């Protein structure tokens, strides 16, 4: 009898309610999302949420090829909009934050403004790879609009904005144009200094998320999405340097 019960258990597929909710999140969200997970777990202790971090463009491509993500929090709106248009989302994208760019150095010197990066001392400037990272795309745009396109040979690229910051932290780059939200993590908070990049130098970094087609009808995905947009979720995002969009109707 025990053997029969064991075989029945092994033969039973894992249901959507027993597997973790799997979230793909842009790397600028690492610290904010960890705080969101803690808050969410206090409200829903029986639900497991697993978060994977990386570049928005790579996650978008993976979802198009069937990667098993339930929600996708992008560092822009374009990737979620494209996934929705191609039938990979359970509903329309929803804005959750506006990101900001900063120029960051890890040393004790006064943080440079964007124009100061033209100085020879900043021989290596780290940004996220603009081929698939929205923060890298906006960093290139800001340099171009500021008349600093000639600095392109000095650029070194991280696979995502978090890796770009790590290059500065390790000394592999002299400065970085990275996400403000990363300055609120324990490993970077209070280390070096940063200056905000003028918002007029690049298109707004509105960030949106989708519930994927795989999670259509999964109540847990809807609950987590609603939590991020709730007062508690918005407070966490604001505490990590994000500007909040107007509330949805």
How does strand 101-105 pair with strand 155-158?
unpaired
Chain mean position to CA 105: 21
Q: Binding site residues, as ranges? A: 56, 161
- pTM of the entire predicted model: 0.89
Cβ contacts of 34 within 8 Å, gap of 6 or more? 51
**97-147 tens-digit pLDDT:** 999 999 999 887 788 999 999 999 999 999 999 999 999 999 999 999 999
pLDDT tens for each residue of 9-23: 444 344 555 789 999
Point out the annotated binding site for molybdate. 56, 161
- Residue pair 124/174 in contact (Cβ under 8 Å)? The answer is yes
DSSP string, 34-91: HHHHHHHHHH-TT--EEEEEE-HHHHHHHHHTT---SEEE-SSSHHHHHHHHTT-BSS
Cα–Cα distance for residue pair 211/52, rounded to 1 Å: 15
Q: Which of 73, 18, 33 is nearest to 208 (CA)?
A: 73
CATH tag for 12-98+204-239 (out of 3.40.50.720, 3.40.50.300, 3.40.640.10, 3.40.190.10): 3.40.190.10
Q: Which CATH architecture has domain 99-201?
A: 3-Layer(aba) Sandwich (3.40)
Structure confidence by residue, pLDDT tens digits, 41-91: 999 999 999 999 999 999 999 999 999 999 999 999 999 999 999 999 999
Does residue 27 surpass a pLDDT of 80?
Answer: yes
Domain residues of the chain, as ranges? 12-98+204-239, 99-201
Q: Collect all residues with Cβ–Cβ distance below 8 Å to 238 and sequence separation of at least 6.
A: 244
Average per-residue pLDDT in the chain? Answer: 91
Same fold? 12-98+204-239, 99-201: yes
Per-residue confidence (pLDDT) for residue 247, from 0 to 100: 74
The torsion region of residue 42 among left (phi > 0), alpha (psi -120 to 50) and beta comes to: alpha
């Amino acid at each position: 009898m025990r053997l029969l019960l064991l075989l029945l258990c092994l033969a039973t597929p894992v249901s959507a309610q027993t597997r973790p909710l799997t979230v793909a999140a842009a790397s600028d969200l690492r610290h904010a999302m960890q705080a969101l997970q803690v808050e969410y777990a206090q409200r829903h202790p029986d639900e497991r949420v697993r978060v994977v971090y990386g570049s928005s463009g790579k996650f978008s491509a993976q979802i198009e090829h069937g990667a098993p993500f339930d929600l996708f929090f992008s560092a822009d709106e374009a990737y979620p909009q494209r996934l929705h248009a191609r039938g990979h989302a359970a509903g329309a994208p929803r804005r959750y934050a506006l990101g900001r760019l900063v120029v960051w150095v890890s040393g004790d010197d006064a943080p440079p403004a964007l124009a100061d990066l033209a100085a020879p001392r900043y021989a290596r400037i780290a940004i996220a790879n603009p081929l698939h990272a929205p923060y890298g795309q906006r960093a290139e745009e800001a340099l171009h609009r500021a008349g600093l396109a000639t600095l392109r040979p000095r650029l070194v690229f991280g696979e995502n904005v978090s890796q770009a910051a790590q290059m500065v932290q390790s000394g592999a780059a002299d400065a970085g144009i990275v996400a403000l939200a990363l300055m609120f993590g324990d490993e970077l908070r209070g280390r070096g200094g940063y200056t905000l990049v003028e918002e007029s130098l690049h298109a707004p970094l509105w960030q949106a998320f989708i519930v994927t087609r795989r999670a259509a009808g999964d109540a847990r995905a809807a609950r987590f999405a609603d939590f991020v947009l709730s007062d508690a979720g918005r407070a966490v995002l604001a505490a990590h340097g994000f500007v909040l969009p107007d509330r949805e109707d």
